[in-house]
């Protein structure tokens, strides 16, 4: 185990990742089969959102927890108001911290605790029981739909709210106000995502909200995220994630051999002009640069989306049954197959969405429009401009691409490529040399990643 260690870089593919780790002064290079990221959650006080300044009488949740730990008796005889779920969405993790503190306070003599809250979300193990236990001990819950008016003058505090039961304004004058904390992703995630080339979600977590992903998966095979790396989770949920990740790693690496399906991308290096387009556009980090200066596709990492094949300017990449020869033949057959007087529309259907929708329509007895000819593609990003032109040249009256909606593409960016809006390209490679030659000398953290040949 390496404690107090930082990751400075990563490269490679499943079964043969390299990571550069540093602690103190030394940088060590390690070879690993899979990577599991378990970054921490961070909390930050929300006093600003409630118009309050932290002081002796206005405490953040963390400050209260520390004070309760060191001297709980200091709160005897005090009235304490908690503000939560009014400046952010209710959150079971936040509520659990509040309720544990309330319980500790209610155990002190003559202490009164008020929980002034928006949503009280108790959807976690044991939370409802804790909620009831606090209530039975004397805690009062005040559920509001809008933030109360909070006044802070020196150490004097007051909270005024429209009481929904009494239907009149009520003023509470507590000795102490405790403001909730926002729980969110650690800033370190951005650097990790950059090093590992994994996509981030909108809240700074290391996983996008993609319905096609298994719970601990990322856009890259062999790199998993657990617990606070992927969302706000309680310890139990994080442990479940860890078990899931262990199973996925075992499933991936197993006894050291992997059966790889045949529908993976293959490069004809005789046609390749080494333009790096495929390396930049692969959303799954499956393409690396070999020491002999050519692109290589990891069969383990490749997810067969076909984006690289449609983007390659030399048509140097082919994918199993979706190779260009087979696709052109299918498109030609679809374009020339007329159905009465109906216009012929060639519909390229992503197998993860458009095709499923067509099957679903059929199963509900809703026939597809006459003249609509479906052509299955592994991802909308596989639709090559040549296929579209061929369909029109062969007599199709129109072409449609049925893609996943943006943000829900299994390959993250396939629908963007299909729409002709290619996302920002990845960082390119260094002007000379490869990581392999550099690794013969004492290891240094890479200034770029993923251009690394597996041994
Ligand atoms: S996109 Fe095509 S030509 Fe360019 S490096 Fe990849 S395989 Fe070679
Ligand atoms: S088919 Fe998709 S996953 Fe495989 S190498 Fe090409 S772009 Fe990457």
400 Cα: distance to centroid of ligand 2 (angstroms): 23
Which residue's alpha carbon is nearest to atom 6 within ligand 1? 278
Q: Is the CB of 273 under 6 A from ligand 1?
A: yes
How does residue 448 score in pLDDT terms, banded at 50, 70 and 90? Answer: very low
How far is 406 from 421, CA to CA, in rounded Å?
Answer: 11
User: pLDDT tens-digit profile of 113-156?
Assistant: 999 999 888 877 889 999 999 999 999 999 998 899 999 999 99
Predicted structure pTM score: 0.78
155 Cα: distance to centroid of ligand 2 (angstroms): 62
Q: Is the CB of 287 under 6 A from ligand 1?
A: no
Query: Which is higher by pLDDT, 161 or 231?
Result: 161
| Ligand 2 atom with least separation from CA of 319 | 1
Task: Residue 449: name the closest of 192, 197, 190, 189 by CA.
Answer: 197
Q: Is the CB of 266 under 6 A from ligand 1?
A: no
- Pocket-forming residues, ligand 2, beta carbon under 6 Å: 265, 282, 284, 286-287, 297, 302-308, 319
- Residue to mutate, 310, 314, 428, 451, ligand 1, most ligand atoms under 8 Å from C-beta: 314
The DSSP code sequence of 50-86 is: GT---SSSEEEHHHHHHHHHH-GGGGTT-EEEEEESS
Which residue's alpha carbon is nearest to atom 3 within ligand 1? 272
Q: Which domains does the chain have, with CATH numbers?
A: 6-40+186-253 (3.50.50.60), 43-183 (3.50.50.60), 265-437 (no CATH)
How does residue 213 score in pLDDT terms, banded at 50, 70 and 90? Answer: confident
Q: Is the CB of 200 under 6 A from ligand 1?
A: no
User: pLDDT tens-digit profile of 69-121?
Assistant: 999 999 999 999 999 999 888 888 899 999 999 999 998 989 999 999 998 88
- The continuous run of DSSP H or E covering 277 comes out as helix 277-281
How does residue 421 score in pLDDT terms, banded at 50, 70 and 90? Answer: confident
| Ligand 2 atom with least separation from CA of 317 | 6
Mean pLDDT of the chain: 88
| Ligand 1 atom with least separation from CA of 276 | 5
User: pLDDT tens-digit profile of 288-319?
Assistant: 888 778 899 999 999 999 999 999 999 999 99
Q: Supply the pLDDT for residue 266.
A: 95
Q: Is the CB of 115 under 6 A from ligand 1?
A: no
User: pLDDT tens-digit profile of 333-385?
Assistant: 999 998 999 999 999 999 999 999 999 998 999 988 999 999 999 999 999 99
Q: Is the CB of 296 under 6 A from ligand 1?
A: no
286 Cα: distance to centroid of ligand 2 (angstroms): 6
| Ligand 2 atom with least separation from CA of 297 | 5
User: pLDDT tens-digit profile of 228-257?
Assistant: 999 887 777 889 999 999 999 999 888 878
Which residue's alpha carbon is nearest to atom 6 within ligand 2? 308
Q: Is the model's pLDDT at 452 over the cut of 70? A: no
Q: Is the CB of 276 under 6 A from ligand 1?
A: yes
Q: Supply the pLDDT for residue 429.
A: 41
| Structure tokens, 261 | 């399906």
Q: Supply the pLDDT for residue 426.
A: 53
Which residue's alpha carbon is nearest to atom 8 within ligand 2? 282
Phi, psi dihedral angles at 189 (to 5 degrees): -60, -35
Q: Supply the pLDDT for residue 443.
A: 38
How far is 97 from 255, CA to CA, in rounded Å?
Answer: 43
Q: Is the model's pLDDT at 444 over the cut of 70? A: no
Q: Supply the pLDDT for residue 25.
A: 67
Q: Is the model's pLDDT at 446 over the cut of 60? A: no
Angle between helices 92-106 and 127-137 (to 10 degrees): 30
């Amino acid at each position: 185990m390496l404690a107090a260690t930082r990751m400075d870089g990563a490269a490679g593919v499943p079964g043969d990742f390299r990571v550069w780790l540093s602690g103190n002064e030394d940088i060590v290079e390690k070879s690993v089969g899979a990577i599991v990221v378990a970054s921490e959650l961070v909390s930050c006080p929300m006093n600003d959102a409630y118009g309050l300044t932290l002081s002796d009488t206005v405490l953040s949740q963390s400050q209260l927890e520390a004070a309760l730990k060191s001297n709980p008796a200091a709160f005897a005889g005090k009235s304490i108001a908690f503000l939560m779920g009014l400046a952010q969405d209710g959150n079971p993790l936040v509520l659990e911290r509040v309720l544990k503190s309330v319980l500790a306070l209610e155990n002190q003599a003559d202490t009164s605790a008020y929980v002034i809250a928006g949503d009280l979300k108790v959807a976690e193990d044991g939370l409802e029981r804790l909620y009831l236990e606090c209530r039975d001990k004397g805690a009062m819950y005040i559920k509001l739909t809008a933030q109360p008016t909070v006044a802070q003058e020196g150490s004097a505090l007051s909270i005024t709210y429209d009481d929904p039961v009494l239907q009149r304004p009520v003023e509470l004058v507590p000795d102490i106000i405790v403001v909730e904390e926002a729980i969110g992703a650690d800033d370190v995630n951005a650097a990790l995502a950059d090093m590992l080339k994994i996509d981030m979600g909108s809240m700074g977590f290391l996983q996008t909200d993609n319905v096609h992903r298994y719970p601990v998966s990322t856009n890259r095979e062999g790199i998993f995220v657990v617990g606070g790396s992927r969302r706000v989770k309680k310890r139990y949920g994080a442990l479940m994630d860890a078990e899931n990740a262990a199973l996925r790693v075992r499933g991936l690496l197993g006894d050291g051999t992997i059966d790889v399906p045949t529908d993976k991308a293959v490069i004809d290096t005789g046609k390749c002009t080494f333009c790096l387009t495929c390396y930049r556009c692969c959303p799954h980090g499956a393409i690396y640069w070999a020491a002999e200066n050519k692109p290589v596709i990891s069969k383990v990492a490749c997810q067969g989306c076909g984006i690289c094949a449609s983007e390659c300017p030399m048509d140097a990449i082919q994918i199993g049954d979706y190779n260009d020869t087979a696709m052109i033949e299918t498109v030609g057959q679809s374009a020339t197959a007329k159905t009465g007087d109906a216009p012929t529309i060639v519909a390229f259907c992503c197998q993860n969405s458009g095709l499923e929708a067509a099957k679903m329509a059929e199963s509900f007895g809703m026939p597809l429009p006459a003249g609509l000819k479906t052509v299955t593609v592994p991802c909308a990003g596989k639709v090559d401009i040549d296929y579209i032109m061929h369909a029109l040249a062969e007599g199709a009256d129109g072409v449609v691409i049925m893609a996943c909606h943006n943000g829900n593409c299994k390959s993250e960016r396939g629908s963007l490529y299909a729409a002709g809006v290619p996302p920002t390209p990845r960082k390119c490679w260094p002007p000379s040399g490869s990581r392999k030659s550099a690794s013969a000398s004492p290891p240094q953290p890479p200034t770029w990643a993923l251009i690394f040949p597996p041994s």
